[in-house]
Structure formats: structure tokens, C-alpha cells
């Protein structure tokens, strides 16, 4: 029986552009087709291809949305509300990005967490939305707040919920958001400056809560942006540049080697408010891994798999860290037992401090200076090694010289005596010789007897 030809589909990059042109998330499209969010993402990256009825439904949705976008004159706000009505409540965002939404999953992650340093292998950033659609999507997300419950397995085998309040960038001073997409072309310096201007304030507050040091927070964020400028071709095509910089800032800020620096031996001045001091003391008493997971999950609003991926841990391990961190905070500060109150407290303490922000132009200049300095240092060190090697080869022996055999002791030979005081016998002999052999000719001429 002949099979019907497969429904044609656009390229993976075009599929993603068509989906985002109507402000639909992976979860919205997955709910319409009847698949998971990860499946839709694999279709858009080219790792998999839909088949059968799912392929036809996927093609019809893309085509229908494309035609509706070209033939309808309704504004973007009405279209977004219609999509929300058809698919139910909007799932929480993984990184609170106003133009990307991802659902929250519980238990083990369906995809293996990847380190933040390997994000360059992701596909390039898709084409930006139209200004109207981007504005409508951002406004709609700013007016919605979602309460989600993660269900994760506890060590004793029971199911323990992890409630979290998914916040939006407009209401969260800790959130480091991505710069808004621009329809006009930008130079690398302009794109980097936009990323720095939007992410630096939130990152400085986050690193201050992680370390409790204002100078180290500024230094960590500045060093992360310097590293991002050095690797800008890699960061520019990353699917989440803000996450790339955030991971670099966290790694530098929480490095254990800072304890050996003389400037870090004395703690900074505590916050002015007693309540802020008490909360910061409890937060800094947590282990670094729990502190970082709490900041990503409750402070920023990442979902559990995203938090596990950024901390390079498994999903159950990340869930246990969050549970232990919340239990410790609730035990010492009962008013913060509610995740909503904990999230607000993190934002309040982080926003109450006056922290220095890195400037984009100084970051780029400092990054280029450091790159030149280390390049010249590497060249000088290489030249020093070459010179030392040449000098060693010049002075090295050209033939084999056998080693000398060690000396042996010979018996029967009296030891050589050095000068010293005369004995009684030596003195008597000297006086006798002087008396019998006077000076003059007689001493030199032998006499017959």
C-alpha cells in the first residue's frame, strides 16, 4: 500500500522563529500537539523530526499561526491573551525572561544537566520578535504571577513539595535579565554594553547575598563580564548570555581561594538594619552549594532542572539542598518559612545595599588590557624557557666522562703529622745538635776520625 508523502516542514531555525513570532512558548506548542516541552525543543534544534500525525499537526500549527500573523490586524496583546486562554495558565519561566517561558517539571530532569561552560554548543539565538509582539508579551508577563509546586522525591522515599513563586523581572530586583531583542543590527560593543547594563545590577546584588562582601561582589561581576568580552563570539550566540555571565560571576565569587587574600580576612560592615543583619548572617551560614541553589531557585526564579544544570548537580541533589536550606532558614527565622516571604526578603536585602556597578566601557578596556598583559607574559615566559634551554645546550658536555672511583684506606702508613709543639725528646735532640755542630766551615767539611 503506497504511503502518503510526509508533510513538508520548514528548517529548524525557521520553526523556532515562527513559534516566537506568535509569542508561544515550548509548553504552549507542546500542549497543542500532545508532546513534552523537550520534544518541541529538539524539533527546533534539529536533533529530532516529528512523524505521522504529530508532524501534520505541527506543520498545521506553524502554517496557521503564520497565516494569522500576516492576514490579521489585531494587536499583539489580544493574540497573546487568546493563546493563554486556549492553552491554560502560562507556565513559569525558567529564567524569568519576558520573551521565553518554560514549564516547571518535578522529579528527575528529562535532559541531562549540562555545565554552564558548555553552553556554546547550543544553537544560535533565533531571530528577534517584532516590536509589537515583544512589547505585548513583556506586558502580559509583567501582569501575571504564578505559584508552582515542584514534587521531588525525599531521601526517605516520601514525596515532598517545593513551592516557589515565579517572579517577573519588573518585580524582582535580584533578577538578571537578558537585554531586549533589537530589530536593528548592533556592533559587538553595543550588544555587550546592552547586556552589561541590564544584567550588572541584578548580578551585583546576587553576588553580595552569596558572599556578604561588597567589594568582592563588584569584582566578581566585573571579572565575569571581562571574561564574557574576551569570549564574546561564544557568548553572543549562546541561548542565554545572562546565564553564561551569571555562572561565571558565581564561580568567581564563591571560589574558596579568596580566603587566602589579605583583603578578605576581615568581614565587611554589616547592613544598617538589624533584621537585614540577622537574615544575612543566616544566609551566609549555609553551605555554599545550598546558598547558590537557594539564590537561583528562590531568588531568581529558575525551575528545578535549570537550577540543577547551572549548579552541575542532579535534580534530586538540588532538591535536597533547597529543602535543607529552607529548613535552616525557617528554624532560625520563622517568619521566612513561606517561600513567598523568603523571596521578598532576598529582594529587599539585596536592593537595600548601595553597591558599585561595573561600567561597560571600563570592563571592555580592562578585559583587553588583561588579555594583552597575559599574552605578553606568556611570550616573555616562552622566550625565557627557550633562552635557558639554549644556554644549557651550549654548556652541556659533548663527550662522556667516567666518574672517578672513590679512594681506599691503606694500612701500615703512619699518618702525616702537622706542625705542633716539640716533645721533650725533640727538644733534647735539638740542643745536642746545636752543641756538637757549631756554625762555620767545620760543619760543612767532614772530619776523619
- Among 64-68, 379-383, 396-400, 439-443, top mean pLDDT goes to 379-383
Lowest-confidence pick of 219-223, 331-335, 402-406, 438-442: 438-442
pTM for the predicted model, two decimal places: 0.51
Determine the average pLDDT of the residues in 18-38: 83
Lowest-confidence pick of 45-54, 177-186, 403-412: 177-186
Q: Is the pLDDT of residue 33 over 50?
A: yes
Determine, yes or no, domain membership for 26.
Answer: yes
Lowest-confidence pick of 21-35, 93-107, 357-371: 93-107
pLDDT-derived band at 167, boundaries 50, 70, 90:
very low
Determine, yes or no, domain membership for 96.
Answer: no
What is the pLDDT of the chain when averaged over all its residues?
A: 74
Residue 138 has what pLDDT? 38
Locus of grid cell 500576516? 70
Parent domain of 56: 1-86
The domain that holds 59 is classified in CATH as 1.10.260
pLDDT-derived band at 231, boundaries 50, 70, 90:
very high
Determine, yes or no, domain membership for 331.
Answer: no
Determine, yes or no, domain membership for 408.
Answer: no
Residues 6+ apart with CB under 8 A from 296: 302, 306, 307, 310, 311
Determine, yes or no, domain membership for 415.
Answer: no
For 248-279, what is each residue's pLDDT tens digit?
Answer: 999 999 998 888 888 888 888 888 889 999 99
Residue 226 has what pLDDT? 94
Residues 6+ apart with CB under 8 A from 262: none
Determine, yes or no, domain membership for 171.
Answer: no
Report the domain count for the chain: 1
For 334-350, what is each residue's pLDDT tens digit?
Answer: 999 898 899 999 988 88
Amino acid at each position: 500500500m503506497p504511503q502518503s508523502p510526509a508533510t513538508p516542514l520548514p528548517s529548524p531555525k525557521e520553526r523556532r522563529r515562527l513559534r516566537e513570532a506568535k509569542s508561544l512558548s515550548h509548553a504552549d506548542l507542546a500542549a497543542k500537539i500532545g508532546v513534552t516541552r523537550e520534544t518541541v525543543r529538539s524539533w527546533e534544534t534539529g536533533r529530532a523530526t516529528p512523524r505521522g500525525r504529530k508532524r501534520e499537526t505541527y506543520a498545521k500549527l506553524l502554517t496557521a499561526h503564520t497565516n494569522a500573523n500576516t492576514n490579521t490586524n489585531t494587536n499583539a496583546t489580544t493574540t497573546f491573551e487568546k493563546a493563554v486562554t486556549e492553552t491554560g495558565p502560562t507556565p513559569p519561566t525558567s529564567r524569568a525572561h519576558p520573551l521565553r517561558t518554560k514549564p516547571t517539571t518535578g522529579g528527575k530532569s528529562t535532559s541531562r544537566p549540562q555545565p554552564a561552560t558548555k553552553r556554546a554548543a547550543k544553537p544560535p539565538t533565533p531571530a528577534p520578535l517584532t516590536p509589537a509582539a515583544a512589547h505585548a508579551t513583556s506586558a502580559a508577563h509583567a501582569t501575571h504571577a504564578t505559584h508552582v509546586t515542584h514534587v521531588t522525591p525525599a531521601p526517605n522515599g516520601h514525596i515532598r513539595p517545593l513551592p516557589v513563586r515565579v517572579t517577573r523581572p519588573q518585580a524582582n530586583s535580584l533578577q538578571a535579565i537578558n537585554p531586549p531583542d533589537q530589530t536593528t543590527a548592533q556592533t559587538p560593543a553595543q550588544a555587550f554594553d546592552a547586556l552589561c547594563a541590564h544584567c550588572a545590577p541584578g548580578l551585583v546584588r546576587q553576588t553580595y547575598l552569596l558572599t556578604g562582601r561588597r567589594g568582592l561582589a563588584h569584582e566578581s561581576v566585573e571579572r565575569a563580564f571581562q571574561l564574557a568580552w574576551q569570549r564574546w563570539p561564544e557568548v553572543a550566540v549562546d541561548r542565554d548570555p545572562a546565564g553564561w555571565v551569571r555562572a561565571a560571576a558565581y564561580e568567581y565569587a564563591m571560589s574558596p581561594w579568596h580566603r587566602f587574600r589579605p583583603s578578605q580576612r576581615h568581614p565587611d560592615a554589616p547592613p544598617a538594619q538589624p533584621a537585614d543583619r540577622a537574615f544575612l548572617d543566616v544566609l551566609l551560614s549555609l553551605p555554599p552549594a545550598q546558598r547558590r541553589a537557594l539564590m537561583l531557585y528562590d531568588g531568581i526564579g529558575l525551575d528545578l532542572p535549570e537550577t540543577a544544570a547551572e549548579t552541575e548537580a542532579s535534580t534530586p541533589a538540588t532538591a535536597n539542598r533547597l529543602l535543607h536550606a529552607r529548613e535552616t532558614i525557617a528554624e532560625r527565622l520563622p517568619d521566612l518559612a513561606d517561600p513567598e516571604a523568603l523571596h521578598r526578603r532576598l529582594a529587599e536585602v539585596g536592593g537595600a545595599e548601595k553597591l558599585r556597578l561595573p561600567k561597560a566601557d571600563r570592563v571592555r578596556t580592562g578585559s583587553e588590557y588583561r588579555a594583552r598583559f597575559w599574552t605578553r607574559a606568556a611570550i616573555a615566559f616562552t622566550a625565557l624557557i627557550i633562552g635557558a634551554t639554549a644556554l644549557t645546550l651550549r654548556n652541556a658536555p659533548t663527550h662522556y666522562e667516567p666518574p672517578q672511583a672513590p679512594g681506599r684506606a691503606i694500612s701500615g702508613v703512619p699518618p702525616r703529622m702537622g706542625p705542633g709543639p716539640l716533645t721533650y725528646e725533640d727538644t733534647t735532640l735539638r740542643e745536642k745538635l746545636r752543641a756538637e755542630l757549631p756554625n762555620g766551615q767545620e760543619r760543612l767539611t767532614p772530619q776523619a776520625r
